[in-house]
Amino acid sequence: MAARKLRLHIENSRRKNPIFHTLPGHWQAACRRHKALARHIGAVSFGWDGDILESVLPQTELVIGVPARRDGLAQRAPNLRWLHSTSAGIDAALPLDWLPRGVVFTNNSGAHGHKAEQYMTMAYPLLNARLPAIIANQQARRWEALFSPSLAGKTAVVVGLGDLGGAAARAAKKNGLNVIGVRRSAQKHRHADRVVTYKQLDRVLPQADFVVLAVPLTSETRNLLDGRRLDLLKPAAFVINIARGPVLDQDALAQRLRRGRLAGALLDVVEPEPLPADAPLWTTPNLLITPHVSCDDGEHYIDISLDLWFENLGLMLAGKRMKRRINPGLGY
C-alpha cells in the first residue's frame, strides 16, 4: 500500500520578476527529471499573491514560496511540514517569530552560485581595469588611455563564505588573486588561502585590494561595512556588494568615492531597491550599479530551484536531515 501523497502549494507573487515565477510547465518538467520522487506528490496548486491561499492551506503539507501573510500559520496550515523560500536571502521574513514549531523552513541557497561566480569573474578585472572611469569617458566622448596594472597577486577579502561568498572566492582564484575569507568560524575553505573570523575583520581590511560583501542580511551584518571600516581600506581598494544593500553604508562609500578616498565600487544591491531616479548614488564617480541581477539565472532559475527542492524532498522522505534549513537563531 502506497503512502498517502503529499499536497503541495506553490505560491507566486506578481510583484516578483517573471524569472522567479514557478509555473505549471516548470513543475511538470521537474517531475519528469525526478520521476520517482514526484510520485509522492499528490495535488499541486498554484496561487498568486494569496488568491487561493486560505482555501488550500488547511490540507497542504508542503509550500514553495513564502506567503506575504504569515501570522497564525499554525492554525491556518495545521498540516504544514515544510515551507521553502525560492530566495536565498530571507531577510524580508525576519524575525522568524511567525514560523510554527516543527515546520522546516528552507531557503534557495545553491541556486545562485554559478551566476554569482560569473559575475564575480567579471567584477575583479572590471574594477582593476578602471572600467567605471572608462565608461564615464565614453559618455563624455573622451579618449583617454587609462592603463592598469596586472590583477594577478592582488588580494580579495571575501566576507561571507556561503553560496555567494564561495563563488566570489572561486572567481578570485580564477583571476589569480590571493583570497582571505571571513566567516563565523575560521574553518578552512577550499577556495580561500586563509580564513579568519568576523572578529578579525578589521585586521584584514587594510590588506584588501577588493572587499566583497557576500553575507546574509541579519541584525548582526546590518551596516557591517560602515564608514569606520571603509577608512581601514587602502585608497586603491575596490568594494563589491552582492549581498544586500544594508550590509554596507552606501552613503559613506559614495562620499569616499567622491573624494577619491577609494578607487571604485560595483554594487549589485542597494538600499532601497528599486533605487529612485533622484538618488545621488546613480552618479557617484567610479561606481557601477547593476540592478540586483548578479546571482540569478535569467533562463533556468526555477528549474535549478526545483532540482534543489526535489533533492530536499528525497531527504525528507528518507527521514534524513534536510539541507539549506534556516536556523531561526542566526536568521539565515
Residues that bind a copy of itself (CB under 8 A): 17, 19, 114-115, 118-119, 121-122, 125-126, 128-129, 131, 134-135, 137-139, 141-152, 174-175, 273-275, 277-279, 282-283, 288-294, 296-300
CB of 237 to a copy of itself, least distance (A): 17
Distances (CA, A) of 181 to 147, 217, 219: 29, 17, 21
140-145, long-range: CB < 8 A, 24+ apart: none
Nearer residue to a copy of itself within complex by CB, 150 or 219: 150
User: Cell digits for 161?
Assistant: 563564505
Side chain identity at 13, as an amino acid letter? S
CB of 322 to a copy of itself, least distance (A): 26
DSSP SS3 for 41: strand
Task: Establish how many alpha carbons lie within 13 A of residue 70's alpha carbon, considering only the half-sphere containing its beta carbon.
Answer: 19
Q: Which of the residues are catalytic?
A: 244, 273, 292
CB of 140 to a copy of itself, least distance (A): 8
Distances (CA, A) of 271 to 137, 143, 248, 291, 294: 27, 33, 9, 11, 16
CB of 294 to a copy of itself, least distance (A): 8
Residues ≥6 apart with Cβ < 8 Å to 20: 12, 86, 87, 296, 301, 302
User: Cell digits for 90?
Assistant: 530571507
CB of 246 to a copy of itself, least distance (A): 17
Contact criterion met (CB below 8 Å) for 91 and 74: no
The C-alpha torsion from 118 through 119 and 120 to 125, rounded to 10°, is 100
Distances (CA, A) of 159 to 106, 260, 294: 22, 23, 17
Distances (CA, A) of 20 to 94, 162, 209: 21, 21, 34
Contact criterion met (CB below 8 Å) for 86 and 93: no
Residue given cell 592582488 in the structure block: 154
User: Cell digits for 172?
Assistant: 578570485
Residues ≥6 apart with Cβ < 8 Å to 223: 246, 247, 248, 249
CB of 242 to a copy of itself, least distance (A): 12
